[in-house]
Amino acid sequence: MIDCHTHMPGGLGFLAATSFTARDQLAFMDRHGIDVSVVLTHTGLLFPSPAENDAMAGYVAADPARLIGFATVDPRRADAAEELERCVRERGLRGLKLHPWLQGFCVHDPFMDPVCEAAARLGVPILFHDGTPPYSLALQIAVLARRHPSVRMVLGHGGLHDAWREALVALETTPNLWTCLCGIPPYAAAHVICNGPLERIVVGTDAGLADAAGQPYAAARIAEWGRLDVTAGQREAILVDNPRRLLGLPRT
Ligand SMILES: [Zn+2]
């Protein structure tokens, strides 16, 4: 199984996690049958910097075959595209995470174009936080995806509780838009899997936002995947085949 949404520990305030290590994450993955995890920054969303991207490269170096790190940038900066390129070509990071709500930018600002063009050149996906107004809604991200049709853009939460129906419509109408079901209710996840474009649906836990080595909320989400009212083929697609295609990993 592949978990397409986890976080490198860090952050601030009530979501600060500092004692969960890469070794803990690998043990968590072993416990739950997760082969590969996509790791996103948390601190870097609050304070994006090359140093945070380098910290990500160091974190996933604990097991580069199983931990796939994504970079982040402040897209307003003139050197944002260059930093993404550095992270991918020199530090081995394999995607970009952006959180328009937390990072406080609108995806339709012109500074997004060079960043998306860099992702297109590098062939890496962009995973967005979504499900939260005013800047992180599925249809807003879908419009950006249509401007950059060769970039795989991922709704990192599938619309969360309130906007999953909108996320489903956005998916159906935007061929390069993917969704990562993470934090949406199980009945909604099953509906999206059974009615949406199955080949562009993956799942994630958001593990790494708590100190506890067991990451109980993430373990609960993995248990939910096993109980979803979907077929074995659909489950295999979202847990194994689709994430491999999204991330450019060889088929096993
Ligand atoms: Zn997250």
The whole-number pLDDT of residue 175 equals 98
Mean per-residue pLDDT, 22-40? 97
Mean per-residue pLDDT, 55-70? 98
Q: Are the C-beta atoms of residues 193 and 6 closer than 8 Å to each other?
A: no
Q: Are the C-beta atoms of residues 152 and 120 closer than 8 Å to each other?
A: no
Taking 90 as the threshold, does the pLDDT of residue 250 lie above it?
A: no
Taking 90 as the threshold, does the pLDDT of residue 228 lie above it?
A: yes
- Total residue count of the chain as it appears in this document: 252
Bridge partners of 38? 68
What letter would DSSP give residue 111?
Answer: T
Q: How far is the CA of 204 from the centre of ligand 1 (A)?
A: 9
Q: How far is the CA of 6 from the centre of ligand 1 (A)?
A: 6
List of residues 6+ apart from 82 with CB closer than 8 A: 118
Question: What are the pLDDT digits (tens) for 117-163?
Answer: 999 999 999 999 999 999 999 999 999 999 999 999 999 999 999 99
| Position 193 confidence tier, pLDDT thresholds 50, 70, 90 | very high
Residues with CB under 5 A from ligand 1 (ion): 206
Taking 80 as the threshold, does the pLDDT of residue 21 lie above it?
A: yes
* Whole-angstrom distance, CA of residue 120 vs CA of residue 116: 6
The whole-number pLDDT of residue 251 equals 78
The whole-number pLDDT of residue 212 equals 84
E-strand stretches of the chain:
2-7, 36-40, 67-69, 96-98, 126-128, 153-155, 177-181, 201-203
* Whole-angstrom distance, CA of residue 209 vs CA of residue 18: 9
Q: How far is the CA of 17 from the centre of ligand 1 (A)?
A: 13
The rounded mean pLDDT for the chain is 96
> Can you give the pTM of this predicted structure?
0.96
Mean per-residue pLDDT, 3-32? 89
Q: How far is the CA of 227 from the centre of ligand 1 (A)?
A: 22
Q: How far is the CA of 136 from the centre of ligand 1 (A)?
A: 13
